[in-house]
Amino acid sequence: MMRQYLQFLLISVSLFFVSGCNEKLKFEYRSDKLTLNNEYIKDSLRIIYVDSLPGCHPVNNTSLTGANKMTDRLWNIALENIESNIIKTEDGEYFGAGQNFGLRIYTRDISYSGILGVNSLYPRKILNSLKVTRNLRLGLGLRVSEGHMIHGLSGNWVQDSLSEKEFLKKYRTNCYTRRTDDVVWLWAAMDLFEKHPELADWQWIYENGKNCFDELYDPFFDPTDGLYRGQASFIDIHFMERKASGYPQDFSVEECVMIKSTSTNCLYYKGLLSMASAAKKLNKPEEASEWLQKAKKLKQAIVSNLRFEDSTFAYFKHTNGELEQRRDAFGAALAVVTGIVEGDDALKAIAGYPVSWAGVPLFYPFYPGNASYHNNTAWPFVDTFFLWAKEIAEGKDYTSFNAALLARTCVKDGSFHEVVNWSTKNPMGSGSQLWSASAFVNVCRRADLFK
């Protein structure tokens, strides 16, 4: 009997080690038009060999476990891309957006990158960045460039004689009319403090949050349907001198921000929850309850007012109450990731949305015409939010596919790029793009490759 037991034990141990040795190292993905493995990234346009990618040596020495050679190479590229965006000025240290954007301060790029994973790896730098954005944004308030005053809304609006280009040059950020998804910083700050309680400054987040709602956010709230007006998150509104590609071409600048978009309202939901949590931390139970009730009401308003009959979400609601007859990948993803919908409703929210070897089209369907940047494109960081949402809704693992989509953007200088042209399927835009590189961090985190 003892002999049989020892033989069984020996076989079990052997099988354990064989299984461990044969387990595939992440990431590997293979389809007809897209392949990622230990040696190369291949799609219908090109093949990129691992040894042709730059051998980066980031300052952050966090390493991966269970990763193959290609994944390790991409990881170091991602970290170095992130670190290349650290900007030091007399006003403070903050993350820039990418190679093409210089000293500009973009709250949304910083915040989404923090949420995707930079909060875990560079917590103090994200906190510094968020503080820079609050000092600048609250200092400017509703001071806007010429042509960007919204006459239909209350608030302390001040219109400068500067053009938007001159405004951007002077202040290193756009005026608020072009940044009406600003509330995203609250989600990023709350995520940061939850991950790093030693950095948590609840008084700072609460005071700044209250000031932002009082001065910037409340004027955009519409009590008639319980939703917030404002641009779709990160999608540029029209310019004074030309039309952007992400909104109906007959819209004015003002009409672009008088809509009620799914994506930005999801951000407000997270912002209100963050305010409730901060108030609770500060032992303000009555105020915490008020913020929580506002969040619950907004959640219901989003579900009631921004969904089609099939329970998918519209890109936005027009000022006349009609839903825009198209969906957007980011709004659908955020509805799931932020918890607006769960279970079967989460499955319905993303159902039928196209996903391909080149990414997830930002709009479905696209707007007519050949104009691009937001129209006729896919954005790697949005792909990542969308696949993250699919994992939540479906309970499936999309990390290898997600990694392949990001890896194929490492063209030209071998850095993570900004956007994919849907017509050509070619990655383009800025290199070392902060939120594209951060998206790769997110994929590694979802795959449990680092702590």
State which amino acid sits at residue 23. E
pLDDT at 281 over 90: yes
Question: What pLDDT shows up at residue 23?
Answer: 60
pLDDT at 353 over 60: yes
CA 107 to CA 118: how far, in whole Å?
A: 14
Residue ranges in 59-163 assigned as alpha helix (H): 69-84, 107-113, 119-121, 123-140
Percent of the chain with pLDDT over 90: 92
Count CB-CB contacts under 10 A for residue 403. Answer: 29
Structural contact between residues 255 and 221, judged by C-beta atoms closer than 8 angstroms: no
pLDDT digits (tens, 9 = 90+) for 286-324: 999 999 999 999 999 999 999 999 999 999 999 999 999
Average pLDDT in the 415-426 region? 98
Question: What pLDDT shows up at residue 3?
Answer: 52
DSSP 95: E
> What rounded mean pLDDT belongs to the chain?
94
pLDDT at 177 over 80: yes
Question: What pLDDT shows up at residue 437?
Answer: 98
Of 343 and 6, more confident: 343
Q: pLDDT grade, residue 97 (50/70/90)?
A: confident
Q: pLDDT grade, residue 36 (50/70/90)?
A: very high
Question: What pLDDT shows up at residue 370?
Answer: 92
pLDDT at 206 over 80: yes
pLDDT at 343 over 90: yes
Residue 329 buriedness (CB in 10 A; 0-12 / 13-18 / 19+): buried
Question: What pLDDT shows up at residue 204?
Answer: 98
Question: What pLDDT shows up at residue 305?
Answer: 98
Structural contact between residues 431 and 78, judged by C-beta atoms closer than 8 angstroms: no
pLDDT at 91 over 80: no
Structural contact between residues 434 and 81, judged by C-beta atoms closer than 8 angstroms: yes
**Element (DSSP H or E) covering residue 9:** helix 2-22
> Terminal CA-to-CA distance of the chain, rounded, Å?
44
**Element (DSSP H or E) covering residue 343:** helix 343-350
For 164-199, give the DSSP string. Answer: HHHHHHHHSS--GGG-TTTTHHHHHHHHHHHH-GGG
pLDDT digits (tens, 9 = 90+) for 146-174: 999 999 899 999 999 999 999 999 999 99
Q: pLDDT grade, residue 47 (50/70/90)?
A: very high
Per DSSP, the three-state class of 290 is helix
Q: pLDDT grade, residue 396 (50/70/90)?
A: very high
Average pLDDT in the 390-412 region? 98
pTM above 0.85, yes or no: yes
Question: What pLDDT shows up at residue 188?
Answer: 98
pLDDT digits (tens, 9 = 90+) for 102-127: 789 999 999 999 999 999 999 999 99
